[in-house]
């Protein structure tokens, strides 16, 4: 159900630092992992299982780049090997699986699948996440639903009118036609709404950016899915008639909704969400305000998705409809399936 | 385990109104349903599954008699058909099951089984629930137990001495013989206790009715089971020697304990309980007081039944005893089985 | 997974008295039992199942040595037989299983297996638990883990350095060699540390005993496992060079850590822990202080064991290591297996 040979976001670096010197435990694509910083601070991901008596290594503590089991003090290295243990020779101890782990863009990325093909060059490139002209704020939710339901959700924003009626939803989303295309390994769904009033969230952003929130605007949503499960959405509003997405910076409030969707199991996932914006990057109060707005919006999705998951499990034989508005999700799932078939062959 | 072709209480109309414009979700006899008011306010019950993407329709809102899915705005009608959706033609959308639903006596009734034989004429007749000389108050509990354990409970009131020792229980219940009879589709268990002291609940009722609560009374319990799972219990006390159940209104405090027992699954049910009384019908404070007394009493049953259910599941092969005091439940279950066999044939 | 023909601690007598006149319900080795005091106060253990309608007998009350079912008043005797019921002849009622039960050392002991071989002479002998020169304090935890993981834990105290770093752990435990021996039906693991500083818990005990807590000490741990699952641990510190365990009373602070480990199911157990000490037996404040210290220490074990259990269930095919430090647990498990094989033959 998920691609194994790919980079997934395991956690934000902030999560990792907050726990230190404790490591962080998390299941990724059915692999029960523990994350910590090894020698010289390099990120490490190994199985959360002490080869001595099976205790979770995540109960332990990191000491000088080694993960010390909290039960009897076995020291595990970042490559999953037993390094030492009081009063024991550990040469013959079985190793546990180590996973390739890299930090980038404020996140720890992990490759859960075949380690012999783990390739840093395949890490996705999102330069705006590192760029000084951009600001980023985000958070994470654990969602009891198939991660593909989240992809469906994000690749079809007509739901905003219903699920997020009080923030970003507006009837014009339903009314504006969308186009879906596949470009290489990217599924792109876009919708452009012209000459409309901005919904509450964007009115707030326009005000923050010094634009009249009551002005008529052109609004856009450009959703880009890339395997294994990342969705970047260019969103924004520009004063009417200035070119929409292509309008000059001073006429628009815009950003990228960042969605890293990491499967935990077949029926649950970690949803790392956030927004990168190109205006007022130094305004941390605004960053916090947007984060709070997003947290509320995505909690509405979370509620829907968990109940949708339960309903689908209740009626496992029912086929769902695949309408034109669903084509973004449909094409994304098709790409996932293609990758998975490739992995098996 | 339950009769499907019958009318069950789905919810009280008050529950439905309290949620509007949201609909009400409830599983009845293993059917996951959503209830709402369709065109002109007619009650509607359909499967709680949006044919578009499987979200529960109960997340949505009712608008002009249509149930609008909370995910992408598909409008479902009271007959389970897709009526409209922004930007879509819904002609080919699969329908979901609709269930016959009728309102009566302050409740919404639903027929979960074969819809071609749903017959309003089969609704039970309880005229006292509509009569101006009577008052009614009640509530609802969700019980994690086979609904038949509740029928057993109500068709054998000797448990009152033990389970409800502080309210309606008294030793004389154990001592008075009961008789059980079957009249057509009704199982009737009765017990008459003569010349006793009224227990606390009935002393309260006597006081409310202007009778001396310390007076010796004749007390009766007449339990009537009718399929699929309704139990009406005539209960009351009359001043000693005035004819008991048949005593004139001014000499007695009496009523009907109303029990609509609606299976949710094989091991859980919705218990709609209440009391209709023939005295002081306009005294809403008294109605509230009786409701609170019943709420406490039935919560004692709930605790027993859930633990009994767990115990029976723990020892599935043990046969339970069927004593004379159990004959009300035994005969009721037999009637249920007869109906179920008939449904299958 | 557990020996059935043996005496287990079911509960402390204090637990039993605290509930009276309600009985106590507890599952022991997969037997769902209810405990109460029968005629003349003799301890009784019977199946927690009313033969009438299957309600748990533990919902009832004890009256004159009989357990009265809380549903319909069936009176059960301490031998599992129905004694009476209002309006019924109970001669033909099926009995429920009765279990041999004895009180000793402040606990109620039960024999869950074959009742025909239950033998009071096989009760273990722990005279210090009754001796006026000793004081005892303890408590009980419910642990969601195979009871053998607790035996492993107690028969290898090198974990103290890691799990109980702030109380009884110290690096010298890891460094001192231990010896394991089997003497008849007893597995003995001992470790003696010479000329060390006492860890915080023992400094407190030394102070209470009038010894200089900063003095260098000899420390010992002598763990004794006996089937089915009892672990007694002689622990203490003596002023350096006075003979350690054999030092005169005035030179040492010592005691016995008492561990009665009673399986509930294959994956959970009741852990009765406590400490008997030979100094200041009349000091109830000290008893309470030690109990609180132990409660915290054993809660640290509980957390580890439950996560270890979950981890082992997650990787059921992985074999755990059996190092020299694990030999106490390994030999104890071997003894348990020998007994179990004997029971089956």
Report the alpha-carbon distance of residue C99 to residue B278 in Å, rounded. 53
DSSP C249: G
Helix, strand, or coil (residue C303): helix
Give the residue on B whose Cα is nearest the Cα of A169.
B72
**Under a CB-based contact definition with an 8 Å cutoff, are residues C115 and C269 in contact?**
no
What is the number of other CB atoms lying within 10 angstroms of the CB of residue B143? 23
Question: With a CB-CB cutoff of 8 Å, which residues 90-149 of chain A face chain C?
Answer: 93-94
* Tokens of residue B238, six digits: 């009359």
Mean pLDDT of B158-170: 81
Provide the pLDDT confidence category of residue C177 given band limits of 50, 70 and 90.
confident
**For the packed helices B284-314 and B147-154, what is the interaxial angle rounded to 10 degrees?**
120
The predicted model gives B233-240 an average pLDDT of 96
As a whole-number percent, the residues of chain C with pLDDT over 70 amount to: 100
Question: pLDDT over 90 for what percent of chain C?
Answer: 86
pLDDT of amino acid C344? 85
* Whole-number Å distance between alpha carbons of C331 and C181: 9
Q: A228 vs C205, which has greater pLDDT? A: A228
Among B191, B187, B205, residue whose Cα is nearest residue B137: B205
Tell me the mean pLDDT in the region C208-214.
92
Compare all CA atoms of chain A with the CA of C153 and give the residue at the minimum distance: A71
Tokens of B17: 């109104």
Strand ranges in chain A using DSSP code E only, listed in sequence order = 8-12, 24-28, 31-37, 43-47, 61-63, 66-68, 75-76, 82-84, 98-104, 107-111, 135-143, 178-183, 186-197, 216-226, 230-239, 252-265, 268-277
CB contact under 8 A, B86 and A321: no
Tell me which of B40-44, B115-119, B174-178, B240-244 is least confident: B174-178
Looking at residue C216, its pLDDT comes to 96
| Distance separating alpha carbons of residues B194 and B239, to the nearest angstrom | 10
Instruction: From chain C, pick out residues whose CB is under 8 angstroms from the CB of B175.
Output: 86-87
pLDDT of residue A10: 98
CA angle A190, A229, A130 (to 5 degrees): 80
Backbone angles phi, psi at B161, to 5 degrees: -60, -30
Residue A138 in tokens: 């985000």
The helix/strand count (H/E) of chain C reads as 7, 17
Of A127-131, B28-32, C183-187, C254-258, where does mean pLDDT reach its minimum?
Answer: A127-131
Helix (H, G, I), strand (E, B) or coil at A318: coil
pLDDT of residue C129: 93
- The distance in angstroms from the start CA to the end CA of chain A is 15
pLDDT at A31: 98
Q: Return the CA Rg of chain B.
A: 22
As a whole number, the mean pLDDT across chain B is: 94
Is the pLDDT at B174 greater than 80? The verdict is: no
C-alpha angle with apex B266: B265 to B268, nearest 5 degrees? Answer: 60
Q: Has residue C279 got a pLDDT over 90?
A: no
CB contact under 8 A, B312 and C54: yes
Residue in B264, B289, B302, B336 with CA at minimum distance from that of residue B3: B336
Hey, is the C-beta of C54 within 8 angstroms of any chain B C-beta?
Answer: yes
pLDDT at C151: 98
Cα dihedral sign, B31-B36-B39-B43: positive
pLDDT tens for each residue of B240-298: 999 999 999 999 999 999 999 999 999 999 999 999 998 888 999 999 999 998 999 99
pLDDT band per the 50, 70, 90 thresholds, residue A165 = confident
How many CA atoms lie less than 13 Å away from A303 in the CB half-sphere?
12
Asked whether residue C170 carries a pLDDT value surpassing 80, the answer given is no
Mention every residue, 6+ apart, whose C-beta is less than 8 A from residue C250: none
DSSP-derived 3-state class of residue B116? helix
Nearest to A228 by CA among A99, A109, A106: A109
Mean pLDDT, to the nearest integer, of B5-32?
Answer: 98
* Average pLDDT rounded to a whole number, residues A60-83: 97
**Statement: residue A174 has pLDDT above 80:** no
What is the per-residue pLDDT for A205? 87
Domains of chain C (ranges, CATH numbers): 8-122 (2.102.10.10), 127-344 (3.90.380.10)
Task: Identify the band that residue A203 occupies on the pLDDT scale cut at 50, 70 and 90.
Answer: very high
Overall average pLDDT of the B146-175 stretch = 86
Q: What would the pLDDT profile of C280-302 be if each residue is shown by its tens digit?
A: 889 999 999 999 989 999 999 99
User: C267 Cβ partners below 8 Å, 6+ apart?
Assistant: C144, C145, C146, C309, C313
| Percent of chain B topping pLDDT 70 | 100
Does residue A341 belong to the interface with chain B, where contact is any CB pair within 8 Å? Answer: no
Could you give the residue ranges of the DSSP H alpha helices within chain A?
A: 13-19, 147-154, 160-163, 171-175, 200-208, 284-314, 327-344
H or E stretch at B80: none
Task: Render pLDDT for C25-44 as a digit per residue (tens, 0 to 9).
Answer: 999 999 999 999 999 999 99
Least confident of A29-33, A139-143, B77-81, C199-203: C199-203
The arithmetic mean of pLDDT across residues C109-116, rounded, is 98
A156 neighbourhood in chain B, CB within 8 Å: 72
Window 278-317 of B: residues touching C by CB (8 A cutoff) are 303-304, 307-308, 310-312, 314-315
- The minimal CB distance from C174 to the residues A48, A53, A86 is found for A86
Instruction: State the residue for tokens 């304990």.
Output: B257
Q: How far is CA B72 from CA B33, B35, B38, B115, C276, in A?
A: 20, 20, 20, 29, 68
Distance from CA of A303 to the nearest CA of C (A): 28
Strands (E), chain C: 8-12, 24-28, 31-37, 43-47, 61-63, 66-68, 75-76, 82-84, 98-104, 107-111, 135-143, 178-183, 186-197, 216-226, 230-239, 252-265, 268-277
CB-CB: which of B162, B312, B314 is closest to C71?
B162
């Amino acid at each position: 159900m998920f691609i194994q040979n790919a980079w997934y976001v395991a956690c934000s670096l902030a999560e990792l630092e907050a726990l230190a010197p404790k490591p962080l435990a998390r299941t990724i694509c059915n692999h029960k992992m523990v994350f910590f910083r090894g020698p010289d601070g390099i990120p490490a991901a190994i199985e959360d299982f002490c080869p001595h008596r099976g205790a979770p290594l995540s109960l332990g503590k990191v000491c000088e780049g080694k993960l010390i089991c909290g039960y009897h003090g076995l020291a595990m290295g970042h490559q999953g090997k037993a390094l030492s243990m009081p009063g024991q020779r550990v040469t013959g101890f079985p190793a546990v699986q180590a996973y390739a782990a890299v930090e980038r863009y404020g996140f720890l990325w992990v490759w859960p699948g075949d380690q012999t093909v783990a390739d840093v060059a395949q890490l996705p490139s999102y330069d705006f996440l590192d760029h000084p002209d951009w600001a980023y704020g985000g958070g994470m939710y654990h969602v009891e639903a198939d991660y593909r339901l989240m992809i469906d959700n994000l690749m079809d924003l007509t739901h905003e009118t219903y699920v997020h009626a009080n923030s970003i939803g507006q009837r014009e989303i339903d009314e504006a036609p969308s186009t879906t295309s596949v470009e290489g390994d990217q599924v792109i769904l876009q919708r452009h709404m012209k000459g409309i009033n901005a919904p509450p969230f964007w009115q707030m952003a326009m005000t923050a950016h010094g634009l009249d929130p009551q002005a008529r605007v052109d609004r856009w949503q450009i959703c880009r899915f890339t395997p294994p499960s990342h969705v970047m959405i260019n969103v924004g509003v520009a004063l009417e008639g200035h070119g929409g997405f292509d309008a000059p910076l001073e006429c628009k409030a815009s950003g990228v909704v960042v969605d890293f969707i990491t499967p935990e199991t077949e029926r649950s996932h970690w949803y790392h969400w956030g927004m990168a914006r190109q205006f007022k990057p130094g305004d941390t109060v605004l960053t916090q305000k947007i984060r709070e707005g997003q947290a509320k919006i995505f909690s509405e999705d979370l509620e829907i998705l968990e109940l949708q998951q339960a309903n689908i499990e209740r009626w496992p034989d029912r086929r769902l409809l695949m309408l034109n508005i669903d084509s973004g999700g449909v094409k994304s799932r098709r790409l996932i399936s293609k990758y998975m078939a490739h992995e098996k062959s």
